[in-house]
Structure 1
Amino acid sequence: RIYGFGTVMRSPRASGGGTEPAYYAEYGPTIFQIAALQDKLDSGSLTQEETQKLMSLQASVPVEYLQDWFDRRQKNMKINKELIDETRSGVFDYFALGHDDTSQLSQSALEGRYLSKYSKDIPAEKYGSFPGADQLGLLLMARSRTDESTEKPTFSVIYPLGGGGKTSLV
């Protein structure tokens, strides 16, 4: 069996940990705001005032930095679409797409929506898309174990002391 995973790139609010390009230290928060407003534009809910703010923010970031940032994201999108295509064609027995950022208004959210639409014809037994990225390897190992075993896992919830038992699991 072949299991695979990919991730939708995160959309950090600011630079940290040396994972972003050098320009992100100065322009990262502005690029994040641009992406959030573009996400809102894509959903059709951008106000006139926000449209003006978007244009102003875009003008404040050197075009080569914006182009580099979007090129990086496009490369990630292309790879994720190709991995989804490979899943659709049967290369993977299961493919998990993790979303490394769960900000509601962000480039990650926008890309996640497009990839969800792109993959909607793939059965849940073959494909999953959900928040989180760090746990994908463990998830696939657990899936492999349960797929190969006649044993089926069972789960129970153990709540901490206090009001945890009143938490809804829906």
Structure 2
Amino acid sequence: MQLSTPPRLDESPPPSSGREVPEINFDEFYQIHFRTLTVQLCAYTGDMGHAQDLVQEAFCRAFARWQKIVRYEDPVAWVRRVAWNLATSRWRRLRTAQLFLRRQREEHVPGPGPDRVALEAALALLPPKQRRAVVLHHLADMPISEIARQEGVAEGTVKSWLHRGRAALAAHLTERNEETRRD
């Protein structure tokens, strides 16, 4: 008995041997071969769920080309080859991803310093409008006119928020420094 290699997806069907190929219903074909192909792929991949997914995908691809595949000498070989190729492609993608991850350097970022922690705590104590004005002006480097336009208020209002916010921050930070010195 001679084994024939399954055709590739882009190949045309093998030449007819002169005999008439009986029409096979796709549903019957699926019911007959799904389980055996899944068992084969499970042995190959070591994962029954993954094997079922691979075989299902292969059958979906076969269904889309069924009128062509049904004329092949061994349509099951085509579905099996597609499923095995899908498994191999997945392993290649995983291996590539693992190699990429291994080459990445682990970057150690120091935690926030005590000054930053104190500033964030003091900012959290400000009313929202003052906090937003201080952050936008001092951290985002936005001019007062742009903050006023964004907030829909007059520039004088933003100046007032900034003044009150800075005064409250200074009080909170000075108070914290004094508590730290006493400890």
TM-score with structure 1 setting the length: 0.24
Structure number with higher relative contact order (C-alpha < 8 Å, ≥ 6 residues apart): 1
Structure (1 or 2) with the larger CA radius of gyration: 2
TM-score with structure 2 setting the length: 0.23
**Whose helix fraction is larger, Structure 1's or Structure 2's?**
2
**Whose strand fraction is larger, Structure 1's or Structure 2's?**
1
